[in-house]
Amino acid sequence: MRLIIDVIACEANGACTRILPEALELDDEDQLHLRLAVIPPELEDKAERAVRVCPRQALRLEPSKP
């Protein structure tokens, strides 16, 4: 799976980075960065939770392109 960030919607609340620091990082200018191009299976549960808790619903999870 891969994570997609809606950069217009993201308001740097940091809810996702607390759950999934392995893949998501906020810089000191409030920009959210994706650290992993592909979310490995062992992180998928956490990724789903990160998508769910985002107050702006600015993340989505999609199947990786084959």
Partner 1 sequence: MNHKGTIVHFDFDPDSESFAYDPYPAYAWLRTNAPVYHWEKRDTLLLSRLEDLRTFLTHEQLSTDIADWEHHPGGQLFEQPGFEAWGSIIATSLFQLPPADHARVRKLASVALTPRAVRAMEGAVRATVERTLDDLIANGDEVVNIRDFTETIPLTVICDLFGVPSQMRAGFREFGLAAIRSVQPNLDPAVLSEIANGFTQGKVLLEQLIEARRTDPNPPADLLTRLIEARDEAHRLSTAELMSLIFALITAGSDTTVHGTCYAVFTLLRHPQALAELQADRSLLRSTIEETLRWDSFGKIGLFRYALSDFELAGVPVRKGQAVSGLMGAALRDPNGYADPDRFDIHRENVANLTFGLGRHFCLGANLARTEMMKAIEILLIERFPHATLAGEPVIDHHNPIMRPIDNLPVRLGADQGKAKA
Site of interaction with partner 1 (CB under 8 A): 8-9, 11-14, 19, 26, 28, 30, 49, 52-53, 55-57
**Smallest gap, in angstroms, from Cβ of residue 37 to partner 1?**
26
Minimum Å distance from CB 21 to partner 1? 15
Strand segments (E) across 1-66: 2-5, 24-26, 32-34, 59-62
Give bridge partners of residue 60 from the DSSP assignment. 4
Report yes or no: 34 and 3 within 8 Å, Cβ to Cβ.
yes
Nearer to partner 1 by C-beta: 8 or 37? 8
> Using CA atoms, how far apart are residues 5 and 7, in angstroms rounded to an integer?
6
Residue 38 or 44: the one with the smaller Cβ distance to partner 1 is 44
